[in-house]
Chains A and B, each alone.
Chain A
Amino acid sequence: MSNIAGKAYAMNVITPIRWYMTWINRLIFKIALKNPETLKGLITLSLIHYARWVIVPRSGFPRLDPSQPKEDLQYSYMLFFSNFNGSWDQYVDSFTFAIPAGLDLFWKWNIRYPKSVPLTPFHKYIRHNQIDTLHYYNAYPMASSNDIKSAQKIKKALIDFNTTSVNKTPDDFLKDYNKLLIDLQHHFGDMKPTPIVSLSADAVKKRYLQSHLNSN
């Protein structure tokens, strides 16, 4: 199992929802899509790379051949996949404390959803319905989603600065350079492997070192 890839954690949650209530969820998701400000809480939390909600109708599991038994389900299912920075507890707790109403809106119609407040039943609900990842790949294990957004700003600023200021007199160059550093100060930072904060992260590191030993 490998829910961790560098600074990212892969969460998979599958929860049942009454098939005749899925239209409400679809409507809520559609409204959220059309009005991105409804997701402002998630953006402010700033710890997610990418996340998605997928509703699988009870007759919607892929069936590719007549030899494959047809699913006979009483509920539809909602899949939630997230790629976030930090630990499991930090992520789940930040939802509860920062955007509990939004969270309840997305899961409200799921069977036995306990609501995001109080915390302990919500923790149990997520743990109960979570599936571990077997292989998790992250193109930038050393970077958080904030690093990627900061890097985008630094690249643009660096190219602009190089175009406008590099051939000025040394004193004017320094003035612009100092302004550049002040403008970018919140975006700097040395990126390194994430500290080992859990037994799972330690296990991933050991697997990585072992695979390197095997290949050398």
Chain B
Amino acid sequence: MATKNGNATALTVLSPIKNAVMGETSCADITRERCLSLPIHEKSPLARVPNTYLARLFVLDDVYYESLPASDCVFNFSDITSFFSDSARKKALPRKDHLKSKYLVFSSNFYGDLDAYLAGLWKNWSYIDLSGNQRDVRHIWEYCVAFDRVTDISSFIDYIKRCQLDASLFFNGSTDDSLQEQLKSLYLKQEFTRFAIEHQGKNAAEIQQDFKTFIQRVQPENLSSPTWPPGKSAP
């Protein structure tokens, strides 16, 4: 299974949305609107979910019809047969597919194991919406099929696993350190870059003294503080 790459995990979730209408709005559109109005960066509910590197939500309304011209690698007999037959020409068109449900897609790249991550998702997903209401993770999945049976951490984990799809290939172009480790490293990179610039041309004793003070301030081995908060979007 390619869902893991070292300590990094790729979670792909397709949760079917009910084919129903609430008032005048479809459940899919309500879900879409809720995803769109989530606060972003530091205020995203995902910033509170431990070890989330990058994650996204979108609604899969349907699959696309491949109407663009292109050669089809091995099935080009129609190029010959269609000289002689209109029906052969038409049969060479791609088939038309349509989904019968719309799907809420949640894709996350995170550090660690799935069960611990999903427990963190259930416990920590929290934000205040534009109307001032406190919302938890149930608000996003509310109109998904069978989500009304989710009542606690364990039923949430079971539910997400039923909606999970395995990756065939998961490529990690970054690191698979814990998020705390990544954020601390970024904080140190930023601070040490500034230290190096500020101390250009200074004498040895002064740099040494200031370096000791710098190390006391930045505490390189203390992952929890000082560091960057998740989702930090401005210096």
Contacts and interface: CB of A to CB of B under 8 A. Distances in A.
Interface of A: 1-2, 5-6, 8, 10, 12, 14-16, 25-26, 29-30, 32-33, 39, 42-43, 46-56, 60-65, 67-75, 77, 79, 81, 83, 108-109, 111-115, 121, 124-125, 128-129, 131-143, 145, 147-152, 154-155, 158-159, 162, 166, 170-171, 173-174, 177, 181, 187-193, 204, 207-208, 211-212, 214-215
Contacts of B184: 155
The prevalent SS among residues of B at the interface is mixed
Nearest to A21: B74
Contact of A148 (B38, B167, B185, B193): B185
B207 interface: yes
Nearest to A26: B168
7 contacts: A53-B168, A112-B69, A139-B52, A148-B185, A148-B186, A154-B189, A190-B193
A139 B182 contact: yes
Contact of B68 (A26, A114, A204, A211): A114
B190 A191 contact: yes
B70 A114 contact: yes
Nearest to B97: A73
Nearest to A168: B208
B212 interface: yes
Nearest to B130: A214
B197 to A, nearest CB: 8
A203 to B, nearest CB: 11
A137 B72 contact: no
Contacts of A72: 100
Interface in B7-32: 8, 10, 12, 14-16, 19, 32
Given A48-B173, A54-B12, A147-B189, A12 B58 contact: yes
B171 A139 contact: no
A215 B192 CA distance: 33
B57 A134 contact: yes
B57 A61 contact: no
Interface stretch (B83-91, B112-120, B225-233): B225-233
Nearest to A80: B169
A139 B53 contact: yes
Given A128-B67, A158-B220, 16 more contacts: A50-B170, A50-B172, A52-B10, A53-B167, A54-B166, A61-B14, A64-B16, A73-B97, A112-B68, A112-B72, A114-B71, A140-B232, A142-B232, A147-B186, A166-B208, A173-B208
Nearest to B233: A141
B73 A188 contact: no
Interface string B188-232: 111011101000000111011001100100001100000010111
